[in-house]
A and B are shown apart, each in its own frame.
Chain A
Amino acid sequence: MSSEIAVQCRRVRKEFGNGAGKVMALRGVDLDVRYGAMTLLVGPSGCGKTTLLSVIAGLLNSNGGEVKVLGEQVERLPGGQQILFRRKNLGFVFQQYNLLPALTAAENAAVPLLTTGTPRRKAVRKAKHLLATLGMGERANALPKQLSGGQQQRVALARALIHEPRLLVCDEPTASLDAETGHAVMELLAAEAVRPDRAVIVVTHDNRIFSFADTIARMDDGRIVSVESARRNGDRAE
């Protein structure tokens, strides 16, 4: 049912450059991302995963096709409203964490609330509570440089979830982590992020985390080549 679809892509195209240097990054992508599920976008490097994620997140505009995110054609919104839409509805987890080095873990996690004008104390209090849920309660006052990679990714996860977004986009969240830490982060992501009213998209080429997916969309050369439903924790349904 379309009401269960959080993200709907139809014939989405994206080109970079022009003339002889033109590169077709997306060549008519069709994809549905469901609420309450973790969708993995997988494929070899340069196949267009990150470009598709950027288009879905409203960070890049497509050159054709239609992208509906949470029922809204975000690309058609004026610039300011696009940013507000993103601020309110989207959470981001980046490969390199991108935490602000001068802020503590709790302050970093509180940033999305601060952007909406939430008073600092209130935002940091909520961030500390969320960090405790993610097993980082004792490290809430630590600076990023005092945290391990896995801990930093947990802080990034807290930052992505603190404003309770309806769509979480994660770009290679385990790429900078060892296998054990990556697994732990994915467990946390699956347990804390996936909810009935939220969709989670994870771009990855780390096949060790495929077992966490509800859906795996494989990309190659700018196209979705297959979409497989899967049962989490390794039991593939089909």
Chain B
Amino acid sequence: MNFVALKMLTGDRAKYLGLVFTIAFCTFLLENQSSIFAGIMKRTGSQIADVTDAEIWVMDPKTEYFEQTKALKDTDLTRVRGVEGVEWAVKLFKGNPVARTLNGKFDVSICLGLDDATLAGAPRKMLLGSWERLREPDSVVIDKAGYVLLFPDEPLQLDRTLELNDHKATIVGISDASAPFASYPVMHTRYSQAVNFVGRERTQLSFVLVRPQPGGDPLELSQRIEKHTGLRARTSDQFRWDCVLYYLRHTGIPLNFGITIAIALIVGVVVAGQTFYIFTIENLKQFGALKAIGVTNWRITGMIMLQALTVGAMGFSLGSGMCAAFFAITLNNLPTRGMVLMWQNAIGTGVAILFVVILASLISIRRVLVLEPAEVFRG
């Protein structure tokens, strides 16, 4: 009878395609919006993820996310280094000087000052130049998106100069840094230089980057650092999640995306449910005839579920394909770089679509199950 169910489904081509495309667009919207949401949230921890040398970030106890920094004392670095299990610990500065080009283009930037001796935390994915050149005077490495923002329509070129808070800086490398939450240029430079760019304060140390000894557990070490120094120490993953949760709690972003996703779900359920219901109602006499002939309610339920799941699977596949194509097209655009269809979003959407088609089919199944087979004799 599965064959009969599938033929009944595909026989009415207009409704069949209508159902498939409803599910496909519902899938597209859910996957697209949830992936963009996840991508934006992921960006809140981009600068943390880009530091691959260190596994622990130490910061002021009140710091909640990357953008919110309160300077540590220089002695804090020494205290962290003294904790058992620390292989090395270096300082990291984060500031937001204004970058200005010679032709007057300017923007606030994210300036990361790396430990002068080790350059730990330097960008490892370079598109042009070398991060080792950061040892040169007044040198900065800028990310590609920042370069395009400050030098629009100009080719990538090294040794160009710009100003950071009125201090001259020379571009010695162009990195492929992960996109930050706000579309500011990301500058890497030496710590000693970064503090000059931003301007002297009583203390400048934003973060201490820590590498555990080989075989050491970063989580355990971070707890030990907290205990011994009274500072906040988070593993890279923890700190990235801190950033994500901060934005979730303190911005309207999740509400905005949540509304879109909810609308996609509601529209999907209503349109798919209504179309499927009409489809079933139009076949009610046939279902009645099948019941009279001796097809059980269980079998009819199975037939309707098979129809719904088939439509769901086809619509989900089509919608996922559309979404994957969307991200393949936009992947290399600077504003949307790093946004991809994540497998977690695809699975989540799959579950949501399953919910949509089951709900849609349940409404129809109920109508068929209460149908008296004797109805079939009433013309």
Contact of B343 with A by CB under 8 A: no
Q: Say yes or no: A115 contacts B3, CB within 8 Å.
A: no
Q: Say yes or no: A114 contacts B373, CB within 8 Å.
A: no
- Chain A contacts for B292, CB-based, 8 A: 57, 59, 86, 92
Contact of B289 with A by CB under 8 A: yes
Mask: chain A, 51-94; 1 = CB below 8 Å from B; 0 = not: 00110010110000000000000000000100110111010101
Q: Say yes or no: A115 contacts B7, CB within 8 Å.
A: no
Q: Say yes or no: A103 contacts B7, CB within 8 Å.
A: yes
Q: Say yes or no: A59 contacts B373, CB within 8 Å.
A: yes
Contact of A147 with B by CB under 8 A: no
Q: CA separation between A127 and B379, bound complex, in Å?
A: 26
Q: CA separation between A87 and B290, bound complex, in Å?
A: 10
Q: Say yes or no: A87 contacts B1, CB within 8 Å.
A: no
Contact of A95 with B by CB under 8 A: yes
Contact of B215 with A by CB under 8 A: no
Q: CA separation between A60 and B377, bound complex, in Å?
A: 11
Segment among B153-161, B294-302, B353-361 that sits at the interface with chain A: B294-302
Q: Say yes or no: A50 contacts B378, CB within 8 Å.
A: yes
Closest CB-CB distance, B206 to chain A, in whole Å?
68
- Chain A contacts for B314, CB-based, 8 A: none
Q: Say yes or no: A54 contacts B374, CB within 8 Å.
A: yes
Q: Say yes or no: B294 contacts A115, CB within 8 Å.
A: yes
- Chain B contacts for A114, CB-based, 8 A: 1, 3-4
- Chain B contacts for A181, CB-based, 8 A: none
Contact of B12 with A by CB under 8 A: yes
Mask: chain B, 254-295; 1 = CB below 8 Å from A; 0 = not: 000000000000000000000000000001011011101111
Closest CB-CB distance, A41 to chain B, in whole Å?
12
- Chain B contacts for A101, CB-based, 8 A: 11-12, 286
Q: Say yes or no: A107 contacts B7, CB within 8 Å.
A: yes
Within 8 A of B (CB), among A86-128: 86-88, 90, 92, 94-96, 98-103, 107, 111-112, 114-115, 120
Q: Say yes or no: B377 contacts A54, CB within 8 Å.
A: yes
Q: Say yes or no: B293 contacts A86, CB within 8 Å.
A: yes
Tell me which of A60, A94, A100 contacts B372 (CB under 8 A).
A60
Mask: chain B, 7-23; 1 = CB below 8 Å from A; 0 = not: 11111100000000000
Mask: chain B, 204-222; 1 = CB below 8 Å from A; 0 = not: 0000000000000000000
Q: Say yes or no: B293 contacts A87, CB within 8 Å.
A: yes
- Chain B contacts for A214, CB-based, 8 A: none
Closest CB-CB distance, B224 to chain A, in whole Å?
68
Mask: chain A, 31-60; 1 = CB below 8 Å from B; 0 = not: 000000000000000000010011001011
> Which residue of chain A has its CB nearest to the CB of B285?
A98
Contact of B309 with A by CB under 8 A: no
> Which residue of chain B has its CB nearest to the CB of A104?
B7
- Chain A contacts for B294, CB-based, 8 A: 83-84, 86-88, 90, 112, 115
Q: Say yes or no: A120 contacts B3, CB within 8 Å.
A: yes
Q: Say yes or no: B377 contacts A53, CB within 8 Å.
A: yes
Q: CA separation between A94 and B12, bound complex, in Å?
A: 23
Q: Say yes or no: B4 contacts A60, CB within 8 Å.
A: no
Closest CB-CB distance, A155 to chain B, in whole Å?
12
Tell me which of A59, A96, A159 contacts B374 (CB under 8 A).
A59
- Chain B contacts for A84, CB-based, 8 A: 294
Contact of B376 with A by CB under 8 A: yes
Closest CB-CB distance, B123 to chain A, in whole Å?
60
- Chain B contacts for A102, CB-based, 8 A: 7-12
Q: Say yes or no: B295 contacts A94, CB within 8 Å.
A: no
Q: CA separation between A114 and B373, bound complex, in Å?
A: 19
Mask: chain B, 340-354; 1 = CB below 8 Å from A; 0 = not: 000000000000000
- Chain B contacts for A86, CB-based, 8 A: 292-294
Closest CB-CB distance, B28 to chain A, in whole Å?
28
Closest CB-CB distance, B314 to chain A, in whole Å?
17
Q: Say yes or no: A94 contacts B374, CB within 8 Å.
A: no
Tell me which of B288, B295, B373 contacts A115 (CB under 8 A).
B295
Q: CA separation between A115 and B374, bound complex, in Å?
A: 19
Q: CA separation between A50 and B372, bound complex, in Å?
A: 14
Q: CA separation between A57 and B373, bound complex, in Å?
A: 10
- Chain B contacts for A94, CB-based, 8 A: 289, 376-377
- Chain A contacts for B378, CB-based, 8 A: 50
| Max chain A C-beta neighbours (<10 A), residue from B289, B293, B373 | B293
Q: Say yes or no: B293 contacts A92, CB within 8 Å.
A: yes
Q: CA separation between A99 and B299, bound complex, in Å?
A: 18
Closest CB-CB distance, B293 to chain A, in whole Å?
6
- Chain A contacts for B299, CB-based, 8 A: 115
Within 8 A of A (CB), among B106-165: none
- Chain B contacts for A120, CB-based, 8 A: 3
- Chain A contacts for B373, CB-based, 8 A: 59
Q: CA separation between A60 and B7, bound complex, in Å?
A: 30
- Chain B contacts for A107, CB-based, 8 A: 4, 7
- Chain A contacts for B3, CB-based, 8 A: 114, 120
| Max chain B C-beta neighbours (<10 A), residue from A84, A87, A102 | A102
Closest CB-CB distance, A74 to chain B, in whole Å?
12
Residue pairs across A and B with Cβ atoms less than 8 A apart, 16 shown, are: A50-B377, A50-B378, A57-B374, A59-B373, A59-B377, A60-B374, A86-B292, A87-B293, A98-B285, A100-B8, A100-B286, A101-B286, A102-B7, A102-B9, A114-B4, A120-B3
* 8 shortest interchain CB distances as A-B pairs: A102-B11, A87-B294, A98-B289, A59-B374, A54-B374, A102-B7, A86-B294, A59-B373
Sample of 10 further A-B pairs with CB below 8 A, known A86-B292, A96-B285, A114-B4: A54-B377, A59-B377, A87-B294, A94-B289, A94-B376, A96-B379, A98-B285, A100-B4, A102-B9, A115-B293
